[in-house]
Structure 1
Amino acid sequence: MFYSFFRIAWRNLWKNKLFSFINVFGLASGLLVCLLAMIGIKGAFDYDSIHPHPERTYRILTDVVTQDNDNRSFATSPLPLADELKQKYPFVEEVTRVIRNNGDFSTGTKQLPVLYSVVDAGFFRIFGFRLEKGQPAVAPKTIVLTQETAQRFFGSANPIGKVLTHHDLGALTVTGVLRESTAKTHLHFDVLVSVATLSGPAWQQALADWRNYSQGYTYVMVKPGMATDALAKVLPELSNRATNGLRFASEKGYTLRSQPLTKLSPAREELMNATYEPTIGKLETELGVGLLTLLLAAFNYINLTLARSLSRAREVGIRKVAGALRWQLMAQFMAESVVLSLFGLSMAYGMLQLIKPMPFVQQWLIGGVEWESNVGVWFIFVTFSVLTGLLAGLLPAKVLTQFQPAQVLRSQTGLRVFRGITLRKSLIIAQFAISLFAMITLLSMARQQHYMGHTDYGFDRSNVFVIPLNGVSATRLQTEINQLAGVERVAATSALFGDHGDGWQTVRRDRSGGDSTQAHIFSMDANLTSVMGLSMIAGHNLPASASDSASRLVLINEEAVRSFHLGNAGAAIGQTIWLNDSTDVQIAGVLNDFKFTTLVWKISPLIMRYQPATFRYLTVKVASGNPEEVRSAIARIWKRVQPYEPFAGIWYDTFLNDRHSHTDDLAFLALLIGLALSIACLGLLGMVTYTMELRTKEVAVRKVMGARIDQVIWLLSWDFVKLLLIAGAIAIPLGYLASSLFLTTFAYHISVGASMLGLCFGALLLLGGLTIGFRTYRTAITNPADSLRTE
C-alpha cells in the first residue's frame, strides 16, 4: 500500500513539473539553513570533546553581590583558589589557573601581537592539548607555542630552545609546540606561559589576593569515583572562610560554585568574562532563522497545493465515490509532500557543498565539526526532512479530503480565512513581508558598515600609508622612508585611529585624589599631528625630541579636559595629571575632539605621549601625484631591512574599510535574503501561473469584446500587486523599528530614511512585478481562437 502511495505521488509530481520544482527548491532552501543550524548545534555540544576527562572536570564560577544588591556571575574566580583546593581537599586530583592576556612578543627581529594564557603545570594533564614536540611549559620563563604561532615567528625552523621576549614577562624560552587540532574548545590562545614566570611582587600579590576574582579562570579535576557533588559541597564553606574579614571596593561579597566542563557549551547563562563557547541564544537564533526560512517554503507548498484545490478536490471526489477512505486520501497527499521534502534534502546537500567554503560558514557554523561521515547526523537530517514533509502536507491534506463528493463535483469550493482574503493570499503576504523586513535590516547593516569605513573621523586619512613595524626599528625605517621623493612626513604610533584604541589607564588629577577617570593612552611622536591633520586648539605639540623628558609631556583631547575638570582648553595647559597613580605627566596641548576609536563608542578621554618602546606602526603622508610609486619604494626598503618578513603596508582608507566592512558576514546574510526572496517569487510565480490557467478563457472573451492588452494585464495583475502593497505596509514599519534598534548600538550611525525604505520596497515591487508581469503578459497575448477552440 505504501509503495502504491509513493508511486502515485511520483506520477503526480512528474505531471506538474513547474509546481514540483518550485516546491523542491523552496524546501531545499529552507532545509539548507536548517542543516547549517543543526550542524552548528552539534558543534556546540561537541565543544571540549578532546579533553580526556570532561565528566570529572569543573570550572569554578564566582557569584558576586554588589553594593546595590545586583547579582553578577563571573566565569573567573580568585587566583589563590587553585592552591587552596589542591592542598586541602584530598578528592581533588589536579587544578590549574588560566590567566588570559594579549600583548606583543618579539624574537628580536620580529614583533607580533599574541593572545597568551598563563597556566599551571596541571593544565597539560587536565586538558587534551597534546604536544607535537618538546616539553610542557612548567619551569619559570618557559613557553609553549601553537603550530600556527611557531610558523608566524620562526617559519619552518625548529622553535625549541628559541627565545621570545615580552615587555612584562621578560625573555621566555620555547620548550614545546602543540599538536594542531581542529576540534572546538572554549579555550583560545596562541601561546602558553608557565605560571612560575609570574615572579614579580605585583604578580605575587595578585596570586594571593582573594579579592581578585576577575583576572583568571580556575579548573579542577576530581579523582575517579568521587560523587558528582563533592566539589559543589565544599565551595560555599570555602568561599565564606576566604572572604571572612575582607573589605571590597564595590561588592558586598561573593560565593563560589562549580560548572561541569560538559555543561560549558552551549552557555546557558550570561557570564562576565565569558570564554569562547557559543551561547544558547546564538543557537536559538540560528535555528529560528532556519525554521523561518523553512516556514516560507512550507507556505509555498500549502499555497500551491491549495491553489490547485479545484482539480485535486475533484480527484478526491472521484476517489471517494470509488470507495477510498479519508485516511487513505490523506496518506496519499502526505506521501507527495514527503517525496518533495526528500528531494529538497538532496538539493539542500548540493547547495551546502557550494556554500561550505564561505568564510562565515566555516568560522561561525560548521568549521571543525565532523558531520558528513556521522550516521547519527544523517539520521537526524532524514528524519527532520520527513517530518517537514508530513507537517507541510498535513493542512492541504486535511482541507482537500474534507470535501463531500457532491459539493466538489459541482465545483463549489472556496477557502476563506478573514474578511474575504483567502488563505493563499495571506501566505503570499507573509512571505513578501518577511523578505522585505530582512532586506531593510540587511541594507541598514551594510550602510552602517560602509559609513564606518568612509565617514569623516576628524583626522586626515587621504594619501596616508600605514606600515606595521613587526619588530623593526621605527627610527631606522623612519629615516630611510623620509628620504624618498613624494614622502611629506613620517610618524610613529602605538595604534591606529578608527580601531579599538591602545588600551585604558586610570588617570587622576591628584595622586592622592579620590576621583579617577579611565582614558585611552596612545603613544606617538611629534610628527603624528601633522601626518593625521589633527587640530591643536590650545598649547603646543610634543617636542621633536627623543629624550626621556619628552615622555612627561602629553596631548589630550577636549573630552579629557571635561572629564578631568580642567576648566577650558587654555586653562588645562601646564597642569599635571597622574597615570596609574605612579606617573605624573604635564599637559602640553589640547586637540580637537576626533573619533579615534570605533564608532560603537562615543569620544572618550584621550592622552597621547611619547613612548618609543611601544611604537607598532609608521604612518606616512604621501604627496599627491603618484602614490603607488611611493608605496613600491617603501616596499623595497622593507625588503632590504626585513628580507624574511612579508611587507604588510596598507593605505589608511583601505584599513578603515577592511576593518569595518564585514563583507563575509554580509555575503552570508545576503544569501539568506536571496533564498527568502527566491522562495517568495517562485511561490508567487506558481500562484500566478495557476490563476492564469484558470482565467485563460476569461481573457479570450474579454479580448473578443475589445479589451486591449494593457487593460488585460492590469486586470490580471492588480490582485497580486495589492498583495505586495499589503506586505510593504506590514514590513516597512517593522523593518524601520528593527533597523533603528540595531543602529542604537552605535554611538555614531546613519539614519533610516524614507529613501532607504523606498529603495527596498521598490526592489520588492520590481521583483514581484516582473514575476507577475511575465505570466500575465503571456496570457494577455494569447490568441482568443486558441483559447475558445474547445468551447
Structure 2
Amino acid sequence: MLANYLKLAIRNLLRQKFYTAINIVGLTLGITCCLLIFLFVQNELSYDRFHAQGDRIYRVMRVGGVNGDKAKIPYVSGPYAPALLNDFPSDIKAAVRIMSTNALFSYQDKTFKEDRVFITDPNFLELFTFPLLQGDPRQVLADPDNVVISEAMAKKYFGSENPMGKLLTFDKNQTCKVSGVMANVPDNSHLKFDFVFSIKDFEEQEWFQRWNNNSMFTYVLLEEQTKPETLAAQFPAFMEKHQGAEAKKEGQNMTLDLQPLRAIHLDTNTQFDFAEQGNKSNVYIFSAIAIFILLIACINFMNLASARSAGRAKEVGVRKVLGAYKQHLISQFLSESTLLTFVAVVLSLGLIILILPYFNAFAEKHLAIPFGNPWLYVFLAGIGLVVGLLAGSYPAFFLSSFEPVKVLKGRLASNAGHPLLRKALVVSQFSLSIFLMIGTVVIFRQMDYVQHKNLGFRKEHVIKIPLDNENIYSRNRAFMGRVQQLPGVQSVSVMSGEPGGFHDNYVFKVIDKPNETWNFRTAFSDANYLPTLGIKLVAGRNFSKSFPTDSVAAILLNETAVKNLGWTPQEALGKEFTDPTMWAEQPVPHRRKVIGVVQDYHFSSLKEAIEPLIITMRRDQRLVAIRLASGNPKAALAAIEEVYKQTAPKYPFQYTFLDESFDQLYKSEQKQAQILAVFSVLAIFIACLGLLGLASYTTQQRRKEIGIRKVLGASVGNVVALLSQDFLKLVLLANILAWPLAWWAMHKWLQDFTYRVELNALIFVVAGIIALLIAIVTVSFQALKVAVANPVNALRDE
C-alpha cells in the first residue's frame, strides 16, 4: 500500500513539473533558512553547557549602587572567595578567582604578544571542564612558576616537540615551566584563554587584599542540596559583616547575587563584562524568522494544491466510485506532500553544506553541521514530517471530502479550492514578508543613527595605545613628549578610559550638601584630554600647567552632573568636593574645586543615558590617545611606531582607532541587521514564488474568458489589470495587517537604545509600496503571457 502511494505521488508530482518545481524551491529555501537559524540558535544556547558541574557553578555579582542607581557588575576583589568559603561552608563547595591579562611570551627565536592569559586559583581545572591532554589537573598549577597552555599554543611555540617541562619566557625577564597542555577552549565558552597561571604570587600583595576594587571574576560551586536563591538571601548580612562600615562611609548600598554559569552568555544586564556576550532577544527574533519563512513556504504549497484541486476533482471522484475510502485518499495526498518535503530536506542539507562556510564568514560564527549527533537526524526527520503534514493537511482533507456525484457532474469546478482561504493564505505570507522588510529598514536606520549621531566629541583620527606593559607604562611621559613633537601629531593625552570604554564609579561628597553622597562616573586624565577628544567647555576653564594645584585640587563636571546637583554651569564653578575615602592617604579628605563644566558627551554606548561624570587629573594611566593631524596618517603612524620601539623595545607596537572601537559597541546589532536583511529577501522571494505559481494557475483557468474579452476589444493593458487587481488588493490588505505588528515589534526593539530613531510612517509606506511593486511584477509576468496570446487558441481548445 505504501509503495503504491509513493508511486502515485511521484507520478502526480512529475505530471505538474512547474508547480512541483515552485514547491520544491520554496520549501528548500524555507528549510535551509530554518536549519541555518537552528544552528545559530543552538550555538547561542549551548554556551558553557559542556562543563560537567555547570548546573551548580555560579558567578558572583556585585549588585547595587548609590542613591537608587542600580547595576550588576561581574567583578569583585580578592578577599571575596575565601570569605564566602569561610562563611558558607555547607553551601559552597569550591571557589575560583580569575584575572584576565596579557603578556609577551618567548621561546628561542619566537616572540608573541598574547592577550588570552588567565591568572587563577589552582583548582580552576578541577572546577571547570577544560580537559587536559597532558598533566594532572590537581597538580599543574600547584607551583606559581607553572603554566598550562592550550594545544594551539603548544604547536605555535614548540611545533612537534613535547612541550611538557619546556621553559617559556614572559615579559622578557621571567620564566615559567609548561606543566600541562589542555584541549583548545571550545568556541561556545564565555571564558576564552590560552595560558593559565596560578594566582598564588598575588595573594599577599596589598592591593589584592582590598575589598573595594574591581580586579577579578569569582565563581562558586554550590553543594548539591544548596538552592542559589536561599544562599543569595544571606548575602546582605555577609556584606554588612565584611563591608558595612566602609560602605556606609562611602554611601553605598551594595549586595551580591549569583549568576548561573549557563546564563552568562545571554545575560545583557551586566555592565563592564569582558566575556563575549550574545543577545537573548536575537535568539527569539531569529527563531521567529525561521518559523515565518517556513510558514511562507508551507503556505505556497497549500495555496497551489488547493488552487489545483479542481484539476484533481475527477481523479478523486473516480477513485471513490471504485471503492477508495476517505482515509486512503488522505494518506495519498499526505504522502505526496511528505515526499516533496523530504526531497526539499535533502536538497536543503546539501545547500547548507555549500553555503555554511560563507554564512560563517558573514555572521562571524563557527557553526558546523553536527553529523555525529543523532538529534540532527531527529530534527531533520521532524521538520520533514511536520512541514509535510502541515503543508499537505488542508489539500488532503479538502480533496478527500469531495462527493463523487457532484465531482463527476462538474459541479465543483467553479469554486474548487475555497478561494477565500487561498486569499487569506496569500495575505498571511505577504504580511510576514512586509513585517520582516520593515524590521530590516528600522534596524538599519538605527544603526546609521548611532554611527552618525553627534556624540559630543570627535572620534575620528584618534588612535589608542594601551599602557599594557611595564616599559611603556613607566616611560609614558617621555613617550608622549616625543610623540607630541612629531609633525603628524596634533595632540596627545593619557587617560583611564576612552569614550565607549570602562569608566570607574566613585562616590564623592559635595561640601554644600553634607548629608548627601553622590555617585559619579570618573575619568582620569591630563590637560590634553579635552583637546585630544574634541570635547567642548560650556563654563570655566580646562586643566592647565599654569595652575600646578590642578593635578590634586581641581575637577571638571559634565552638564548632567551639574543638572543633577541643581546648579547652572556658572553656579557650579568654585564648588568643592571631597575625594572618595579610598583615595585618602591622610586623615582629612582632599578637597577638589570645580574649575570647569564640559558639554555632555557620550562616554558610554548610546544604549545608555549620559550619566554624571567627573574628570580629574588623579593619575590612573591605562592608555594613551593620540589625535593625528590632517595630511599623511601613514607617515605619522610609522613615526609613532619608531618612538614606541625606542621606548618599549621588548614589545610589539599595537594600536586601534577610536572610531572603530566605538562602532564595535553596536557590532551585534549591525550583524543582526545584515542577517535579517538576507532572510527578509529570501522570505519575499519565497512568497513571490507562490504568487507566481498561483498567478500562473489562475490565468490558465481564465484563458477562455480572456480570449472572449480580447475578441470583444479588450486591450493587453485591460487584461493585465483585470488579472492583477485581485492579487494587489490582497497585498494591500497584507500591508494593513503587517503595519501594526511591525510597529509594536520595532518599538519594543528600540527600547534597548536610550537614543533612537523615531518610527516614521514613511518607512511603513515605502515597505508597502515595495511589496506592491514586487507583486505587480510577479503577477504581470504571467498575466502578460496570457494577454498577448492569440485568443483563437484559447477558444479553439474549448
Q: How far apart are residue 333 of structure 1 and its match? A: 0.8
Cα deviations across residues 143-183 of structure 1 (Å, max 9, x unaligned)?
75657799999999999554569xxxxx9968667524353
- TM-score by structure 2 length? 0.80
Q: Which residue of 2 aligns with 1:616?
A: 623
Map residues 328-727 of structure 1 onto 2, 5 A cutoff.
Answer: 328-357=328-357, 367=367, 371-409=370-408, 410-413=410-413, 422-467=420-465, 471=469, 472=472, 474-497=476-499, 499-509=500-510, 513=514, 515-544=516-545, 550-565=551-566, 568-573=569-574, 575-579=576-580, 581-583=582-584, 584=590, 585-610=592-617, 614-623=621-630, 625-627=631-633, 630=636, 634=640, 649=655, 652-660=658-666, 662=668, 663-727=670-734
**In structure 2, how many angstroms separate the alpha carbons of the residues matched to 1:401 and 1:284?**
38
Q: Is the CA contact 2:430–2:731 (under 8 Å) kept in the aligned structure 1?
A: yes
Cα deviations across residues 713-770 of structure 1 (Å, max 9, x unaligned)?
1111000010111111111232223222222321211112132222222221222221
Structure 2 residue matching 1:788: 3-state secondary structure: helix
Q: Is the CA contact 2:19–2:693 (under 8 Å) kept in the aligned structure 1?
A: yes
Range that drifts further, 636-645 or 512-521: 636-645
Map residues 134-149 of structure 1 onto 2, 5 A cutoff.
Answer: 136-138=140-142
**In structure 2, how many angstroms separate the alpha carbons of the residues matched to 1:681 and 1:593?**
49
Q: Is the CA contact 1:555–1:608 (under 8 Å) kept in the aligned structure 2?
A: yes
Q: Which residue of 1 aligns with 2:314?
A: 314
Map residues 132-211 of structure 1 onto 2, 5 A cutoff.
Answer: 136-138=140-142, 162-163=169-170, 179-183=182-186, 187-190=190-193, 192=196, 194-196=198-200, 197-200=202-205, 203-204=208-209, 206=211
Q: Is the CA contact 1:556–1:591 (under 8 Å) kept in the aligned structure 2?
A: yes
Q: Which residue of 2 aligns with 1:773?
A: 780
**AA of the residue aligned to 2:596:** G
**In structure 1, how many angstroms separate the alpha carbons of the residues matched to 2:240 and 2:496?**
43
**AA of the residue aligned to 1:597:** S
Cα deviations across residues 588-630 of structure 1 (Å, max 9, x unaligned)?
321112222211111111222335652413221423x555554
Range that drifts further, 777-786 or 236-245: 236-245
Cα deviations across residues 278-335 of structure 1 (Å, max 9, x unaligned)?
8988766554432232122111111110111110222211222232221111111111
Q: Please, which of 714, 725, 749 is the counterpart of residue 742 of structure 1?
A: 749
Q: Which residue of 2 aligns with 1:168?
A: none
Root-mean-square deviation over aligned CA pairs: 5.0
Q: Which residue of 2 aligns with 1:305?
A: 305
Structure 1 residue matching 2:544: 3-state secondary structure: coil
Inter-CA distance 644–411: structure 2 relative to 1 (3 Å threshold): farther
Range that drifts further, 691-700 or 717-726: 691-700
**AA of the residue aligned to 1:179:** M
**In structure 1, how many angstroms separate the alpha carbons of the residues matched to 2:153 and 2:477?**
27
Q: Which residue of 2 aligns with 1:325?
A: 325
Q: Is the CA contact 1:101–1:115 (under 8 Å) kept in the aligned structure 2?
A: no
Cα deviations across residues 80-105 of structure 1 (Å, max 9, x unaligned)?
4763499x66xx9x943234565676
Cα deviations across residues 608-663 of structure 1 (Å, max 9, x unaligned)?
2335652413221423x555554565566667777887765555555544543554
Aligned residues: 761
Structure 1 residue matching 2:759: 3-state secondary structure: coil
Q: How far apart are residue 411 of structure 1 and its match? A: 3.7
Q: Is the CA contact 1:552–1:586 (under 8 Å) kept in the aligned structure 2?
A: yes
Range that drifts further, 431-440 or 155-164: 155-164
Structure 2 residue matching 1:619: 3-state secondary structure: strand
Structure 2 residue matching 1:422: 3-state secondary structure: helix
Range that drifts further, 38-47 or 718-727: 38-47
Cα deviations across residues 317-360 of structure 1 (Å, max 9, x unaligned)?
12222322211111111111111111111222133224423576
Structure 2 residue matching 1:356: 3-state secondary structure: helix
**AA of the residue aligned to 1:788:** L
Inter-CA distance 374–529: structure 2 relative to 1 (3 Å threshold): same
Q: Which residue of 2 aligns with 1:219?
A: 221
**In structure 2, how many angstroms separate the alpha carbons of the residues matched to 1:617 and 1:245?**
39
**AA of the residue aligned to 1:397:** A
Overall identity of the aligned pairs, in %: 25
Inter-CA distance 553–741: structure 2 relative to 1 (3 Å threshold): same
Q: Is the CA contact 1:185–1:276 (under 8 Å) kept in the aligned structure 2?
A: no
Structure 2 residue matching 1:789: 3-state secondary structure: helix
Q: Is the CA contact 1:36–1:366 (under 8 Å) kept in the aligned structure 2?
A: no
Structure 2 residue matching 1:403: 3-state secondary structure: coil
**AA of the residue aligned to 1:345:** V
Q: Which residue of 1 aligns with 2:68?
A: none
Inter-CA distance 5–238: structure 2 relative to 1 (3 Å threshold): closer
Q: Which residue of 2 aligns with 1:225?
A: none
Q: How far apart are residue 457 of structure 1 and its match? A: 1.1
Inter-CA distance 555–139: structure 2 relative to 1 (3 Å threshold): farther
Q: Is the CA contact 2:431–2:735 (under 8 Å) kept in the aligned structure 1?
A: yes
Structure 1 residue matching 2:81: 3-state secondary structure: coil
Q: How far apart are residue 487 of structure 1 and its match? A: 3.6
Q: How far apart are residue 219 of structure 1 and its match? A: 0.9
Inter-CA distance 61–559: structure 2 relative to 1 (3 Å threshold): closer
- TM-score by structure 1 length? 0.81
Structure 1 residue matching 2:695: 3-state secondary structure: helix
Q: How far apart are residue 388 of structure 1 and its match? A: 2.0
Q: Is the CA contact 1:491–1:527 (under 8 Å) kept in the aligned structure 2?
A: yes
Q: How far apart are residue 560 of structure 1 and its match? A: 1.8
Inter-CA distance 746–402: structure 2 relative to 1 (3 Å threshold): same
Range that drifts further, 547-556 or 781-790: 547-556
**In structure 2, how many angstroms separate the alpha carbons of the residues matched to 1:531 and 1:234?**
48
**In structure 1, how many angstroms separate the alpha carbons of the residues matched to 2:440 and 2:642?**
42
